[in-house]
C-alpha cells in the first residue's frame, strides 16, 4: 500500500538528480529537468484509482516492463503513446527497480550537462 512515506521516498529520489524542480501539474507532484520526467499520483488518476507513478522511459522500455510484470507496469493515459511507463505503487513496490526507472526517466529529458553532473556525483560517491 502506498503511504506518505512512499511519496516522500519517491520525492527524495527525484530531487537527488541535478537541477530537478518539483511543481504541481494537474494537481499532483511532478518533477522536471528541462522537461517533465515524472508524476506521482497518490490518489489515482482517471481510470487508475490506485497510487501510481508515471514517468518518461527510453524507447522500448514500456513494452519490456509491461511484458515483464503487467500487474505492476502499465501504459498510462495521455503520455503512454510517447513511451511513458506507469508503475503501480499499491502492489509489490520494488524501490530499487523504481529508482532505476526514475534515473532512466531523468536521462530521457535532462541535458548532457545535467547527465554529466549526475554521473560525476555517482562516481565520486562510490
Q: What is the pLDDT of residue 46?
A: 57
Q: What is the pLDDT of residue 100?
A: 96
Residue 75 has pLDDT above 90, yes or no: yes
Helix (H, G, I), strand (E, B) or coil at 59: coil
Question: How far is the C-alpha of 55 from the C-alpha of 36, rounded, in Å?
Answer: 8
Residue 94 has pLDDT above 90, yes or no: no
Question: How far is the C-alpha of 61 from the C-alpha of 78, rounded, in Å?
Answer: 17
pTM for the complete prediction?
Answer: 0.90
**What's the rounded mean pLDDT across residues 110-123?**
93
Residue 43 has pLDDT above 90, yes or no: no
**Burial profile 50-78: b = 16 or more Cβ within 10 angstroms, e = fewer:** ebbbbbbbeeebbeebbeeeeebbbbbee
Q: Which residues contact 126 (CB under 8 A, 6 or more apart)?
A: none
Amino acid at each position: 500500500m502506498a503511504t506518505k512515506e512512499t511519496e516522500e521516498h519517491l520525492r527524495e529520489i527525484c530531487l537527488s538528480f541535478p537541477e530537478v524542480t518539483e511543481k504541481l501539474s494537474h494537481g499532483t507532484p511532478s518533477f522536471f529537468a528541462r522537461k517533465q520526467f515524472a508524476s506521482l499520483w497518490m490518489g489515482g488518476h482517471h481510470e487508475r484509482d490506485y497510487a501510481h507513478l508515471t514517468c518518461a522511459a527510453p524507447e522500448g522500455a514500456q513494452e519490456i516492463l509491461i511484458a515483464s510484470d503487467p500487474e505492476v507496469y502499465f501504459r498510462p493515459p495521455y503520455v503512454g503513446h510517447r513511451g511513458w511507463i506507469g508503475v503501480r505503487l499499491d502492489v509489490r513496490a520494488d524501490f530499487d527497480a523504481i529508482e532505476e526507472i526514475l534515473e532512466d526517466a531523468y536521462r530521457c529529458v535532462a541535458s548532457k550537462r545535467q547527465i554529466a553532473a549526475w554521473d560525476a556525483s555517482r562516481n565520486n560517491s562510490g
